Amino acid sequence: MDALAHDPVEGAAAPAHARPQLDLELINIRKRYGDFTAVDGVSLKVSKGQFVCLLGPSGCGKTTTLRCIAGLEEPDGGDVLIGGKEATRDPPWQRDIAMMFQDFALFPHMTVAKQVGFGLEMLKKPRAEIAQRVQHILKSFEIDGLADRKPASLSGGQRQRVALARAMITEPRILLLDEPIGALDYSLRETVMLELKLLQQRTGISFIWVTHDQNEAFSLGDLVVVMNHARIEQQGPPEEILQRPATAFVAGFVQGNNVFRGRVKEVLAGMLRIETPVGMFLVPWVAPPPMLGSEVSFSVRAEQLTDALSERHVNRLSAVCTAVEYFGAVRRHVFERSDGEVLKYDQFGAHAARIVPGQRTVLGWPAEAAVLHAGAGQ
């Protein structure tokens, strides 16, 4: 295994010297609990110093994947490579990783300084070195004033920094974080996220961050991995997931998409005519085109719709507005489609609303604004 790197997508093998420096590689990881499959063929490559977010709904297998990386679960199949070395059956302490949990799992009776130095004590580092490294990390996390305090007397944000300092003091290759800011007040989260991102960039440690919050994933991740039902649905940079959702699930999970399902009625040059329960729409295809008559799905982002129609807006739909909501500078109009699904139309800026609840409106979008999904109707 060590001598060969398998490409999970192509199924090809490359000699080790040709393999780019990866902090982590998962090759077709599978984990079952009795009859239940929690992780099903997960493959992932994490480059040096990457910030990776595992995103998905509750129960989709994010934590189990993380636990397989940490060595807290042994996969039933597949390989875990850390820094290019086979580590699938290594115990957690022999992997070049650290882990931070949502509840921070601080030791209640230990002072901040003591628990931050705990990892170095376990590694049997000299006492003077431990004291010096603890002092350094407490200072850089701006918690040196708390060195003698115990967790019970700390705020949520302070506890979070202590847990992070404890995890990072051993300078692991990879830091695994399971919903690390889930327990923080909403008002604190944005500041903490920014701090963590800067810290991650400064240290060059790869972060693998589990979350079900897409705002976290899209603002932090260099690579966002969307999971559903134990599998990876799509992985890529945030803008790719946002602009080109690969499946109906990803499009539906990401805020602001309108998802349509239908059947291919006509295959034109670069374009499909798709029949849906709410009308016929033109959607561009990327090779190879789906077969005539096949079931497909596509999505169009809420900000791509308009009620100021011109001949560009070849796709049109009449619907009744049910609500107008504000998200900061975005005004979202919610419509009910004739198939009972919701249609979202976003406008930016603070100009006066033109559409009010109860109003029937024709909305349109250009053909090229729609994205065809790879997975048929899923």
- Interatomic CA distance for residues 84 and 46, integer angstroms: 11
Task: Decide if residue 38 touches ligand ATP (CB under 6 A).
Answer: yes
Q: How far is the CB of 297 from ligand ATP (least distance, A)?
A: 23
**With respect to ligand ATP, which residue has the nearer C-beta, 193 or 225?**
225
Task: Answer yes or no: are the C-beta atoms of 168 and 205 closer than 8 Å.
Answer: yes
| Side chain identity at residue 67, one-letter code | R
Among residue numbers 44 through 63, which ones bind ligand ATP (CB under 6 A)?
56, 58-63
Half-sphere exposure at residue 14, Cβ-oriented, CA atoms within 13 angstroms: 11
- Kind plus residue range of the DSSP H or E element containing 188: helix 186-203
Which residue, 55 or 264, is less far from ligand ATP as judged by CB? Answer: 55
Cβ at position 41, least distance to ligand ATP in Å: 14
Q: Does 33 bind ligand ATP (CB under 6 A)?
A: yes
- Using left for φ > 0, alpha for ψ between -120 and 50, and beta otherwise, residue 279 falls in left
Bridge partners of 207, per DSSP, are 51, 175
Measured from the CB of residue 176, what is the shortest distance to ligand ATP in angstroms? 12
Question: Binders of ligand ATP: how many residues, by CB under 6 A?
Answer: 12
CA–CA separation, 208 vs 192, rounded Å?
16
Q: What's the min distance (Å) between Cβ of 247 and ligand ATP? A: 17
Asked whether position 64 contacts ligand ATP by CB under 6 A, the answer is yes
Helices 156-168 and 186-203, axial angle in degrees (round to 10): 20
**What residue type is assigned to position 64 of the chain?**
T
- Binders of ligand ATP among residues 7 to 26 (CB under 6 A) are none
Scan residues 188-247 and list those touching ligand ATP (CB under 6 A).
212
Least distance from ligand ATP to the Cβ atom of residue 16, Å: 31
**292 backbone dihedrals φ, ψ, rounded to 5°:** -55, 135
Nearer to ligand ATP, 60 or 317 (CB): 60
Query: Between residues 36 and 186, which has the closer beta carbon with respect to ligand ATP?
Result: 36
For residue 156, give the amino acid letter.
G
CB of 255 to ligand ATP, least distance (A): 18
Task: Considering the complex, state which of residue 61 and residue 172 has its C-beta at the smaller distance from ligand ATP.
Answer: 61
Secondary-structure breakdown of the chain: helix, strand, coil percentages, each rounded to the nearest 5: 25, 35, 35
Q: CB of 351: closest distance to ligand ATP in angstroms?
A: 39
Where do contacts with ligand ATP occur on this chain (CB under 6 A)?
33, 36, 38, 56, 58-64, 212
